[in-house]
Amino acid sequence: MSGRILIVDDEPANILLLEAFLENAAVEIRGLSDSRQVEQVFTEFEPDLVLLDLHMPDPDGLEILRRLRSARESLGYLPVVMLTGDTGKVARNSALILGLTTSSPSPSTAPRSCCGCATCFARASSTSTSPRPTKR
pLDDT tens per residue, range 26-56: 779 999 999 999 989 988 888 888 888 888 8
Residue type, position 102, single letter:
T
Average pLDDT, the chain: 74
Residue 136 falls inside a structural domain = no
| Interatomic CA distance for residues 70 and 109, integer angstroms | 31
CATH number, residue 117: 3.40.50.2300
Percent of the chain residues past pLDDT 70, beyond the cut = 59
Residue 8's contacts (CB-CB under 8 Å, 6 or more residues apart) are: 32, 35, 38, 50, 51, 52, 53, 56, 61, 64
How far CA 89 is from CA of 96, 97, 120, in Å, comes to 10, 12, 21
Helix (H, G, I), strand (E, B) or coil at 102: strand
CA 49 to chain centre: 5
- Residue-range definition of the domain harbouring residue 27: 4-127
Rounded to two decimals, what is the model's pTM?
Answer: 0.72
Query: What pLDDT, on a 0 to 100 scale, did the predictor assign at position 130?
Result: 41
Residue 96's contacts (CB-CB under 8 Å, 6 or more residues apart) are: none
Residue 50 falls inside a structural domain = yes
Query: What pLDDT, on a 0 to 100 scale, did the predictor assign at position 37?
Result: 93
Query: Confidence class of residue 119 from pLDDT cuts 50, 70 and 90?
Result: low
Residue 132 falls inside a structural domain = no
Structural domains in the chain (count): 1
What is the per-residue pLDDT across 92-101, written as a single tens digit (0 to 9) for each?
Answer: 667 666 666 6
Query: What pLDDT, on a 0 to 100 scale, did the predictor assign at position 89?
Result: 72
